[in-house]
């Protein structure tokens, strides 16, 4: 179950206009602190085309006899003793299927020649100053050389969003299989978290459990930092401290997804720490669930992307009025954006190699239509701050989000994370059932 990198390369080359080239650099390898290293995570664009897992890498794509040239770390037995095997240029050709490969130190000189005859370059300026400086120096030399060679040099630049990211947006069967696996492993972890959570257990323990399950089941780990937010912490959208104990009577919001083959799931479940929703928690939860189910139903080919948000926002705003959080006419409240007091984020995003994956959301002036092969998250929520004196007291401190990953198909929305407990009955059963099983 690996992505079909050769197919990705072919798809890109088929769409790349004659005379244009694509230049991608790997992400820099950042140190964590001092000499301590993070585990390297490749840049998604370059990985999508090569499967190359290591840092210090760049890829040039252009039509010709050798369309894919990869620049990689040189073989170095001494360094390999410290950090492990390096395929080197030969391994890049033999094992990764690129047409040519060189040591990364050769990049500036080789690029001066490779860019001769190229009219337009697809390159992400302003991502990394070091790469920009290297390319600017190369372009100056290419331009000087072109006076003699009379060949064109790149005068037009396109952001990778124009071509490459549109390809990454539509997932093929192999990618979908990997994403299903990420969803499956995420489901195991969320269910184990429901089982483990109890008054007195630390958010950090659940955090560790999620990561452990992802690794145990064959994933790389979480695709983004786990959010394990007990009680009012759920109202902090990117709560990642995960350092407080869980309390009886509170909800626990977990936003966490496994990364498998560098594709990530993105899942949120909210459930009672003690296994039983209170009446107020249930009221809020049911509104969010209704909004989420309706938004999922809008994840259909041909519907504008924005529909999911509009559908969810309406149901949530009606709910806010019903709970006494807002007063007034629902249309007017939405128009005035009054709902943002309790629902301040979007209803989803593209999902893939990046948790907030690439691809445009709008055509000029309007929301783009959904297409089969797109994967979106659907993640409405309601967040009632503990100190919100305008909210009925009984709802204060409740935060609920429910998030699934949905594949747009030619027919029904395909919820990749469908088997993770979500209805009130299923969530309570998962908490209780697991509790009994654990005894
Ligand atoms: N986990 C990040 C998000 O839901 O967008
Ligand atoms: Mn999300
Ligand atoms: Mn999420």
- Pick one of 3.40.350.10, 3.40.50.720, 1.10.10.60, 3.40.50.1970 as the CATH number of 5-167: 3.40.350.10
State which ligand 1 atom lies nearest to the alpha carbon of 356. Answer: 5
Closest C-alpha residue for ligand 1 atom 5: 356
- Residue pair 257/365 in contact (Cβ under 8 Å)? The answer is no
Residues 6+ apart with CB under 8 A from 425: none
Which of 283, 197, 272 minimizes the C-alpha distance to 428?
272
For residues 189, 192, 198, 204, the Cα torsion angle rounded to the nearest 10 degrees is -40
Q: What confidence score (pLDDT) does residue 439 get?
A: 46
CATH of 170-438, picked from 1.10.3720.10, 3.30.379.10, 2.40.160.10, 3.90.230.10, is 3.90.230.10
Quick one: pLDDT at residue 365?
Answer: 87
pLDDT in single tens digits along all 439 residues of the chain: 799 999 999 999 999 999 999 999 999 888 999 999 999 999 999 999 999 999 999 999 999 999 999 999 999 999 999 999 999 999 999 999 999 999 999 999 999 999 999 999 999 999 999 999 999 999 999 999 999 999 999 999 999 999 999 999 999 999 999 999 999 999 999 999 999 999 999 999 999 999 999 999 999 999 999 999 999 999 999 999 999 999 999 999 999 999 999 999 999 999 999 999 999 999 999 999 999 999 999 999 999 999 999 999 999 999 999 999 999 999 999 999 999 999 999 999 999 999 999 999 998 889 999 999 999 999 999 999 999 999 999 999 999 999 999 999 999 999 999 999 999 999 999 998 655 454 4
* Cα 322 to ligand 2 centre (Å): 27
C-beta separation of 165 from 359 below 8 A? yes
CA of 403 to the centre of ligand 1 (A): 8
Pick the closest to residue 266 from 361, 190, 162, 154 (CA basis): 190
Of 183, 222, 223, 224, the residue with max ligand 1 atoms within 8 A of its CB, to mutate for a pocket test, comes to 224
| Confidence at residue 434, expressed as pLDDT on a 0 to 100 scale | 54
Distance CA 84, CA 81 (A): 6
255 CA distance to ligand 1 middle (Å): 7
Q: Which residues line ligand 1 (CB under 6 A)?
A: 224, 255, 266, 349, 355, 379, 403
Predicted TM-score of the model (pTM):
0.96
Q: Mutation test of ligand 1: which of 399, 403, 406 has the most ligand atoms closer than 8 Å to its C-beta?
A: 403
Backbone angles phi, psi at 156, to 5 degrees: -115, 140
pLDDT of 433: 64
CA of 267 to the centre of ligand 2 (A): 7
Pocket test for ligand 1, best of 236, 255, 270, 345 (most atoms within 8 A of CB): 255
The whole-number pLDDT of residue 432 equals 83
Query: Which atom of ligand 1 is closest in space to residue 403's alpha carbon?
Result: 4
d(CA 410, CA 147): 52
A 10 A CB-CB count for 131 gives 19
Q: Which ligand is nearest to the CA of 270?
A: 3
Calpha distance 422→292 (Å, rounded): 10
Nearest alpha carbon to residue 140 among 104, 106, 103, 115 = 115
Ligand 3 centroid – CA 180 distance (Å): 16
Closest C-alpha to ligand 1, atom 3: 266
Max distance between CA atoms of the chain, in angstroms, equals 81
**Nearest CA owner, ligand 1 atom 4:** 266
Q: Domain residue spans in the chain?
A: 5-167, 170-438
User: How many angstroms separate the CA atoms of 227 and 243, rounded?
Assistant: 11
* Residue of 342, 186, 194 whose CA lies nearest to 272: 194
Provide the pLDDT for residue 158: 98
Backbone torsion region of residue 316, taken as left when φ is above 0, otherwise alpha when ψ lies between -120 and 50, otherwise beta: alpha
Which residues belong to the active site? Answer: 35, 238, 255, 266, 345, 349, 356, 379, 383, 401, 403
Tens of pLDDT, residue by residue over 162-214, are 999 999 999 999 999 999 999 999 999 999 999 999 999 999 999 999 999 99
Please list, in sequence order, all residues whose beta carbon lies within 8 angstroms of the beta carbon of residue 355, skipping any fewer than 6 positions away.
Answer: 223, 224, 257, 264, 266, 349
pLDDT recorded at residue 21: 98
Considering just the CA atoms, what is the radius of gyration of the chain in Å?
Answer: 25
24: number of CA atoms within 13 Å, CB side?
25
């Amino acid at each position: 179950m690996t992505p079909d990198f050769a197919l990705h390369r072919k798809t890109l080359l088929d769409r790349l206009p004659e005379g244009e080239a694509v230049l991608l650099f790997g992400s820099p390898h950042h140190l964590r602190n001092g000499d301590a290293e993070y585990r390297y995570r490749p840049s998604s664009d370059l990985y999508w085309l090569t499967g190359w897992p290591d840092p210090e890498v760049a890829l040039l794509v252009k039509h010709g006899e050798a369309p894919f040239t990869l620049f990689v770390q040189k073989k170095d037995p001494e360094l390999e003793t410290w950090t492990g095997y390096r395929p080197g240029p030969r391994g890049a050709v033999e094992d990764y299927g690129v047409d040519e490969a060189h040591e990364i130190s050769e990049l500036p000189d080789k690029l001066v020649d490779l860019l001769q005859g190229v009219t337009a370059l697809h390159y992400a300026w302003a991502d990394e100053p070091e790469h920009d400086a290297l390319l600017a120096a190369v372009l100056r030399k290419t331009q000087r050389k072109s006076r003699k060679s009379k060949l064109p040099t790149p005068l037009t630049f396109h952001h990778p969003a124009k071509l490459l990211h549109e390809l990454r947006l539509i997932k093929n069967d192999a990618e979908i299989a990997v994403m299903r696996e990420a969803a499956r492993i995420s489901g195991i972890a969320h269910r184990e978290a429901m089982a483990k959570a109890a008054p007195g257990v630390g958010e950090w323990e659940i955090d560790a459990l999620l990561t452990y399950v992802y690794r145990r089941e064959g994933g790389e780990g979480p695709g983004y930092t786990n959010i394990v937010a007990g009680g009012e912490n759920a109202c902090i959208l990117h709560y990642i401290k995960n350092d407080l104990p869980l309390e009886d009577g509170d909800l626990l919001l977990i936003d966490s997804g496994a990364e498998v083959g560098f594709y990530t799931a993105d899942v949120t479940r909210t459930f009672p720490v003690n296994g039983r929703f209170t009446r107020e928690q249930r009221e809020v939860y049911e509104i969010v669930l209704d909004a989420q189910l309706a938004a999922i139903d809008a994840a259909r080919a041909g519907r504008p992307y924005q529909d999911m948000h509009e559908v969810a926002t309406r149901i949530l705003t009606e709910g806010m009025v019903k709970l006494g959080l807002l007063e007034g006419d629902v249309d007017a409240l939405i128009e005035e954006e009054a709902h943002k007091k309790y629902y301040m984020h979007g209803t989803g995003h593209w999902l893939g190699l990046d948790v907030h994956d690439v691809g445009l959301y709008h055509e000029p002036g309007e929301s783009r239509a959904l297409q089969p092969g797109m994967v979106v998250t659907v993640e409405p929520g309601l967040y009632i701050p503990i100190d919100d004196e305008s909210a009925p007291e009984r709802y204060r401190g409740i935060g609920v989000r429910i998030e699934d990953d949905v594949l747009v198909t030619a027919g029904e929305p395909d919820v990749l994370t469908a088997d993770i407990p979500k209805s009130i009955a299923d969530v309570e059963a998962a908490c209780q059932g697991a509790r009994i099983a654990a005894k």
